[in-house]
Every structure is written in C-alpha cells, then in structure tokens.
Chain A
Amino acid sequence: MSGRTFAEKALARAAGKPDARAGDILDVRPDLVFSHDNSAAIRRIFEQTGAPRVVRPERVAITLDHAVPAPTRQHAQNHAEIREWVQAQQIGAFFEVGRGICHQVISEEALVLPGETILGADSHSTHFGWLGAFGAGIGRSEMAALWATGELWLRVPEAIRITLRGRLAPGVTSKDLSLCILGRLGADGGLYQSIEFAGETLAALSLDERAVIPNMMAEAGAKNAYLPPDGAVFDYLEARRTRDYTPLYPDPDAEYVAEHTLDVSALEPQIALPDRPDQVVPLSRVIGQPVQQAFLGTCTNGRLEDLQAAAEVLRGQRVRCRLIVIPASAAVMLAASRAGIIDVLLEAGAAIGTPGCGPCMGNHMGIPAPSEVTISSANRNYRGRMGTPDAPVYLASPYVVAASAVRGAISDPREFLT
C-alpha cells in the first residue's frame, strides 16, 4: 500500500482520524481560522445562524488590511462593526489598521505552525504552505460556520508533486519561479489539488522568498500548497510560538496524480501579461513596454527582501513613473526603515503607504486611470482587479517592478545589479 501525501496526513490530523485518503470528506477542526475586512459581513451571516457565540475565539484571528486606513465612510463603518465584534466575542488575535496583511502578520506572530491546519476567508490562504501548514481559502458562510461550530467539511485533495532542482541565477527570484510554474500549469492546472514541493532548490531560498511560492499556487486553482519545513523555518518560529507542534512530511512512496521536475538554474526573469496570472512569458519579450505606474507590495512580494531588492535597483536612481510601495506589515516597514531601505526608496521618488493590501484589489491607494499600464509585484492581474477595467496590469518580481519604475518602461533588472 502506498504512503500518504502531506495533505492526507494534515487533514487526517485536523479531523482527529488515524488516516485519510484523497477523496475522503472529513469534518476538520482547524488550528486557526482568520478573516479580514470581510469580518463584518461574516458577522452578519453568523448572526443569522442562531449560534449563541463564537466557539474557540482564542483560535480566531482578524486583521484589518484590505482597505486601510478606511478610504470611505462605508469602509470606516465596516471597520467599526468589526472592532465591536472583536470586543464582544473576545477574538483571540486582532490586528488593527496598519499592522499588515493577514497572511504576513499571522506568519510573523506564528499563530499557525508546521503540520497544523489554517482556514482563511481569503483565497491566498494557500500562503501558509511556506511553513509546512495546510492552508486553504474558504467562503464567508463557511467562516461563519467555523465561528459557530469550530468545524468544517473538507474533501482531502489529490496531490501534485513539483520537484525543484538547481539554484536561481542572480536577479531571478522565487516570483519568477512561481510565474513560470503557473504558466506551465495554467489557471486550473492545480484545481482542487494539493501542490507539494520538493527538491534541493527550496533549502537555498530565504523564508521571504519561500512564501511567494504557495501564495501564488492559488492562481493555479490549488486547494493548498506545501513546502517541507526545515531548520530555517523552525528557527524563525522558535522565539515566536506559543505551543508545540509536529511537522509533517509526505511519505517517500506517497501517490501523486502528477509529478513535475523543474531545473531552475537557467530560468530567466518572467512576467505575466494582462489579464491572466498564468499568461506568462520571459521578461525579454516585453522589454520597452511603457508603464505609468509601478506597484511594490502585497502578500506575495511586500516583505523585507522585496523592498531590499527594489532598493538595490533604485539606489542612486530616480523613478520615471510613479512608484507606490506598500510594505506587507508594520514589522517589515520598521525593519526596512532601520536598514535604510525606506530612505533609498524615498530618495528615488517612491510614494510609501500604510502597510496593508494597498491597491492590490482596487480599493484605494493607487488605482490606475483608464488605459494606464501598471507593473505590479502582486499575484493577480485580472481585468478590473486594481479597480479600473481597462487598465492593463503586468505581474513580475520586485526587481523588475523597480527597474521598470526607473525607466518608465518594462526593463530587465539585471542591468542595474552589479
């Protein structure tokens, strides 16, 4: 009999079962559930259920991040209702305006640990695969049900294994790697599946770089994604965690529905063309395309190393189009400030905003005008995503975003890196 995938092991654990197989439907008890600005809407659904109170509020996290500080009166009202709810229900972890994006602050606070299961009312909850957790996105009614009962049905997904070989060249990042994988898998190439990574490339990636990969696998339709946690992850969590954990690894003879191997050594910088994250080409194909706005930030690429990468390109340069930088969290912004990175960005002409999602989903802080072109470090570039239907968005690494800001046109960052 074959062994178990990570997803099979993680969901069996979360359901309190000795074993599970792909296709099983289990009642799962997640270790943490979270939501963000959508929590007021979830509260209204919860109130319809007739449930007396939130069960296990200490395992609930809420962040205000999607539209912060409130850009309109409606958003302000929405935030006010959430704060009141957090108080009334004694929600365990609440992050105010400006603390950062849900995926980032939950990671920084080590609210979920390797081998655990985390469900978020956000499609990029696949993110938590960076530390070896089972992270999946769910809808608002499902979050209301979790608040009410602490449980939710989940189907154990089939799994794909992607083995990464070799080391990335200078100026080429895990964003390029993720885009390349998306381009190959396509928007439904990982539909309903657990995308489980393996191979020696991973250990050489920093934690900031690792987080990009499972985050972006949401764009292939994945239910969750997984990187095997190692000493670097355990060290990171050690000073932050408040409970013990047991990391989970797939068995060597686990059964995968597909296996891919990718040698990353020769990988070139990649870019996703408007309006699809899986419409990926080598950067060289679009060099010179004029851009009116460059955006660096989001849960995908708004961490310290991303700001650092941009600073490497921008040091001593002036931007020729507007560059909006939104750090993924207050901790990132503070570290960037201490390292002098914020100075470099400001001197180059960047506009820096409150940590949060920024213009990623078109709420505020950098909505493009009609027909303006944006180059962004985000994960998604659907039509209208940034708030304007006829404003094309390209997706690339922080290096490429910064280099393009300097030229006012899509550029190869390697020209700036010595």
Chain B
Amino acid sequence: MSTQHRCWVYGDDVNTDVIFPGRHTYTLRTPEEIAAHALEDLDPAFAAGVQPGDVIVAGRNWGCGSSREQAVTALKYAGVSVIVAGSFARIYFRNCINQGVLPVVCPPLHDAVRTGDVITFDHAAGRIIAGGQAFPIPALSPSVQAILDAGGLIPMLQRRFKGEAAS
C-alpha cells in the first residue's frame, strides 16, 4: 500500500514553544481550538492551510523544549499523522508514539523536499519516495511499535483496563 502526502518543511531545532505556545497550554481544550494554534509562532500559514494527510518534514531536533503534548496533538488534530525529521527531541518522540503519530527519522529527506511538494509513503517496502529518490523508513523497536499499532498509549490502556474489568 502506498499513500501520498503534501509536505510542510521546517528547519533544525524547532521548539515546542513555536509549535504550540505555552500561553495557550492551560486554557485551550477542544481539538479544534488546539489545532487552530498549531505552529502559530513559526508559520502562521500552517493552521489555515493544512489539510488532513499532510506531513511535516523537519531538520534535526524537532520538538525540543517543553514536554507539552499539545505540540504533538495540535498537529494531529490538524490532520498530521506522520512527522519526518532528521532527529526528534526525546520527549517529543515519546509523545508522538503515545499519541499514535508516526515519527520517522530520515535525515536526508529534509534537503530533498520543499513545502508543497508531494511525497509517497510506500508502507509495504518501508520507504518514502520523493522526487524520484527512495528513502528508507527505519523500523521501530517491537514494544514501541506495539503502542503505535494500538493507536497510542491511551487506547492501549483502555484495552488493558477493559480486559481487567471483564476478567
């Protein structure tokens, strides 16, 4: 199976304060409100222009800074389910897994695409095709993949507690 995605391309060391500003963290609650402020202080065009299925393609250390999960959920609620980066800040990487958003570590893709380009995910072959080039998607460790496969940490726990209640 392969899917096509439009790219939003950003640089190195993009921090969570510009992905989702701290001034909104305790006041905005609904997915629509949260999505409306995604990348507000970095790229005001993003929230207005993003469409479901779009992907982020970033440089090194995407999501450094605060542990705030809205820096992942704001993008997820805006319709982003895959983020490709040269590397991820560690809490951000965990937040992606736990929210069921696929974090793909692929350093060379950043220089191969520009905002608005369309890339192809070849899931079966585990690679991304961009501009005629193929980029491998690294495999995740099995325990981490299991969380993603469950749709995230909360769905995984829901299953566990439903099972416990039934048994």
Which of B23, B94, B143, B154 is in CB contact (< 8 Å) with A363?
A: B23
Which of A75, A78, A187, A387 is in CB contact (< 8 Å) with B64?
A: A187
| A residues in contact with B13, CB < 8 Å | 187-188, 276
Interface status of B66 (Cβ within 8 A of chain A): yes
Interface status of B165 (Cβ within 8 A of chain A): yes
Interface status of A281 (Cβ within 8 A of chain B): no
By the criterion CB–CB under 8 Å, are B61 and A188 in contact? yes
| A residues in contact with B25, CB < 8 Å | 38, 361
By the criterion CB–CB under 8 Å, are A139 and B94 in contact? yes
Given known pairs A148-B157, A382-B18, the reply for A142 and B27 (CB within 8 Å) is no
Count of B residues near A, CB < 8 Å? 40
Measured between C-beta atoms, what is the minimum distance from A335 to chain B in Å?
29
Compute how far the CA of A322 lies from the CA of B25 in the bound complex, rounded to whole angstroms: 27
Tell me the chain A residues, 357-398 only, with Cβ under 8 Å from chain B.
361-363, 380, 382-385, 387, 389
Given known pairs A74-B27, A75-B26, the reply for A50 and B165 (CB within 8 Å) is yes
Compute how far the CA of A140 lies from the CA of B153 in the bound complex, rounded to whole angstroms: 11
By the criterion CB–CB under 8 Å, are A191 and B157 in contact? no
Interface status of B65 (Cβ within 8 A of chain A): yes
Which of A25, A48, A139, A383 is in CB contact (< 8 Å) with B67?
A: A139
Compute how far the CA of A363 lies from the CA of B95 in the bound complex, rounded to whole angstroms: 23
| A residues in contact with B141, CB < 8 Å | 25
By the criterion CB–CB under 8 Å, are B67 and A380 in contact? no
Compute how far the CA of A140 lies from the CA of B20 in the bound complex, rounded to whole angstroms: 15
By the criterion CB–CB under 8 Å, are B90 and A384 in contact? no
| B residues in contact with A144, CB < 8 Å | 154, 157
| A residues in contact with B98, CB < 8 Å | 139, 141-142, 145
| B residues in contact with A149, CB < 8 Å | 157, 160
Interface status of A334 (Cβ within 8 A of chain B): no
By the criterion CB–CB under 8 Å, are B69 and A75 in contact? no
Interface status of B21 (Cβ within 8 A of chain A): yes
Given known pairs A148-B157, A221-B61, the reply for A192 and B26 (CB within 8 Å) is no
Compute how far the CA of A363 lies from the CA of B25 in the bound complex, rounded to whole angstroms: 9
Interface status of A122 (Cβ within 8 A of chain B): yes
Interface status of B81 (Cβ within 8 A of chain A): no
Measured between C-beta atoms, what is the minimum distance from B18 to chain A in Å?
6
Interface status of A169 (Cβ within 8 A of chain B): no
By the criterion CB–CB under 8 Å, are A363 and B67 in contact? no
| Closest B residue by C-beta to A218 | B65
By the criterion CB–CB under 8 Å, are A123 and B66 in contact? yes
B13, B25, B91, B99, most chain A CB atoms within 10 A: B91
Given A45-B154, A51-B157, A188-B89, list of 18 further CB < 8 A pairs? A25-B144, A37-B26, A38-B25, A38-B68, A49-B154, A67-B26, A137-B91, A139-B69, A140-B69, A188-B60, A191-B89, A276-B13, A363-B22, A380-B17, A384-B22, A387-B22, A387-B23, A389-B41
> Which 3 residue pairs across A and B have the least CB separation, nearest first?
A50-B161, A188-B61, A361-B22
| Chain B contact residues, CB within 8 Å of chain A | 13, 15, 17-18, 21-23, 25-27, 41, 60-61, 64-69, 72, 87, 89-91, 94-95, 98-99, 141, 143-144, 152-154, 157-158, 160-162, 165
Cβ contacts A to B, 19 pairs, < 8 Å: A25-B143, A38-B68, A40-B26, A49-B161, A50-B158, A74-B27, A75-B27, A139-B68, A139-B72, A139-B95, A188-B60, A221-B89, A361-B23, A361-B25, A362-B23, A380-B17, A384-B18, A384-B21, A385-B17
| Chain A contact residues, CB within 8 Å of chain B | 25, 37-38, 40-41, 45, 48-52, 66-67, 72, 74-75, 78, 121-123, 137-142, 144-145, 148-149, 153, 187-188, 191-192, 219, 221, 223, 276, 361-363, 380, 382-385, 387, 389
